[in-house]
């Protein structure tokens, strides 16, 4: 057993504990988890490290789903670098969100002409296939790792992304364009991998930063507004394990809260051979996210 993620549910007054192995995907190397709760199901979008890679060799994005957080169905590849004729490499960390019956997949890639850009895949079905929505980049400023969230209060969609410096834009209702300029914000020691979510009126921005153990850790900040300013709240997951990067995704599902991340825990694993894992957690009464360690690094 390579570490466990425990999902406990109350059944008829007794606690039934269902146990899933971490990493939760053990058939290939998976990265950059972007979980999404839709239609009573957890849809887990991931990146994919090619086996035997000596660098970040990532060519497609994959999808898994679960209704019990223990058993995961593999939907295979639903978008790849080939989807974007203007991109040549780096199928990195993306996120899917639904609006008006369409699914939008925001991803970073490296352009044929060089440099990172954010592209958008679109599909009528969550399972894809996703097509290039624009035939070109949405934007490019050297940043990666888009995270998207629609405010339940007014329907405004926000996208954060970045590398070393975090940026955001307000997306228009079409989800394919934005209003205003690219706005930078301040997050303590931000490197990459932002994850935006809202809970009980508080906005959370979780991200990867330089950890004291030499690998990335996961920190978070909160705000009363989706555009900040952001107040640092400390470390969720310290630097640990065999992968330099880590990458967070957070959801609530069937009464539980779940923190997704990746590490190098599968055999042969490491910085370029990562695996998605999950931990169940409980928010503090003050809305804080507890510190968690990897069940298996
Ligand atoms: O997986 C490639 C890159 O490494 C991602 O875009 C970053 O978040 C980091 O995980």
Atom of ligand 1 nearest to the CA of 274: 1
State the average pLDDT over residues 17-21.
Answer: 59
Give the pTM. Answer: 0.94
- 46 pLDDT exceeds 70? yes
How far, in Å, CA of 258 to CA of 277, rounded?
A: 10
189: pLDDT strictly greater than 90: yes
Task: Calculate the alpha carbon distances from 17 to 68, 178, 220, 253 in Å.
Answer: 11, 45, 29, 16
ipTM over 0.90: yes
Instruction: State the pLDDT at residue 5.
Output: 46
Residue identified by tokens 């310290």 is: 238
User: pLDDT-derived band of residue 21, with 50, 70 and 90 as boundaries?
Assistant: confident
For the four alpha carbons of 254, 196, 250 and 33, in that order, the dihedral sign comes to positive
Using a 6 Å cutoff on CB, does residue 91 contact ligand 1? Answer: no
Atom number in ligand 1 closest to CA 47: 1
Residue 83's φ and ψ, nearest 5 degrees, are -60, -30
In short, whether 83's Cβ falls inside 6 Å of ligand 1 is no
**Does ligand 1 lie within 6 Å of residue 247's CB atom?**
yes
* pLDDT above 90 (res 213): no
Indicate if the pLDDT at residue 3 is higher than 60: no
pLDDT over threshold 70, residue 6: no
Instruction: Return the pLDDT at 2.
Output: 40
The string of DSSP letters for 169-190 reads EEEPTTSS-EEEEEEE---TTE
Residue 245 Cβ contacting ligand 1 at under 6 Å: yes
Mean residue pLDDT of the chain comes to 93
- Out of 92, 110, 239, 277, mutate this one to test ligand 1's pocket (max ligand atoms within 8 Å of CB): namely 92
State whether the beta carbon of 47 lies less than 6 angstroms from ligand 1.
Answer: yes
Contact 131, 119 (CB under 8 A): no
Residue 18 has pLDDT above 70, yes or no: no
Ligand 1 contact, 241 CB (< 6 A): no
pLDDT of 297: 72
pLDDT confidence band for 290 (50 / 70 / 90)? very high
pLDDT above 70 covers a percentage of the chain that reads: 93
Average pLDDT (21-49) is: 97
Q: Which atom of ligand 1 is nearest to the CA of 92?
A: 6
Q: 124 CA distance to ligand 1 centroid (A)?
A: 27
Pairing relationship of beta strands 116-123 and 41-49 according to DSSP bridges: unpaired
Residue 213 Cα to ligand 1 middle (Å): 18
193 CB less than 6 Å from ligand 1?
A: yes
Q: What's the confidence (pLDDT) of residue 20?
A: 64
216 within ligand 1 shell (Cβ under 6 A): no
Above 90 in pLDDT, residue 111?
Answer: yes
Tens digits of per-residue pLDDT, 72-104? 999 999 999 999 999 999 999 999 999 999 999
């Amino acid at each position: 057993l390579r570490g466990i993620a425990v999902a406990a549910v109350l059944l008829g007054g007794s606690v039934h504990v269902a146990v899933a192995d971490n990493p939760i995907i053990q058939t290939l190397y998976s990265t950059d988890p972007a979980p999404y709760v839709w239609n009573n199901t957890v849809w887990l979008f991931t990146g994919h490290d090619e086996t035997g890679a000596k660098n970040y060799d990532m060519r497609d994005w994959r999808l898994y789903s679960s209704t019990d957080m223990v058993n995961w169905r593999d939907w295979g590849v639903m978008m790849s670098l080939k989807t974007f004729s203007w991109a040549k490499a780096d199928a990195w960390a993306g996120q899917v969100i639904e609006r008006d019956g369409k699914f939008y997949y925001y991803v970073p890639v490296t352009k044929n002409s060089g440099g990172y850009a954010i592209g958008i895949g679109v599909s009528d079905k969550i399972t894809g296939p996703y097509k290039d929505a624009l035939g070109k980049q949405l934007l490019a400023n050297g940043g990666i790792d888009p995270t998207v969230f629609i405010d339940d209060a007014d329907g405004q969609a926000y996208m954060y992304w970045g590398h070393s410096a975090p940026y955001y834009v307000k997306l228009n209702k079409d989800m394919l364009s934005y209003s205003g300029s690219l706005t930078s914000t301040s997050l303590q020691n931000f490197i990459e991998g932002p994850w935006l979510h809202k809970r009980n009126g508080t906005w959370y921005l979780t991200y990867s930063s330089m950890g004291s153990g030499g690998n990335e850790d996961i920190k978070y900040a909160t705000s009363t507004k989706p555009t900040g300013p952001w107040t640092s709240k400390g470390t969720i997951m310290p630097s640990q394990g065999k992968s330099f990067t880590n990458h967070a995704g957070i959801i609530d599902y069937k009464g539980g809260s779940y923190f997704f991340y990746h590490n190098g825990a599968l055999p042969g694993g490491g910085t370029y051979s990562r695996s998605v894992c999950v931990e169940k957690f409980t928010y503090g009464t003050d809305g804080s996210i507890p510190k968690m360690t990897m069940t298996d690094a």
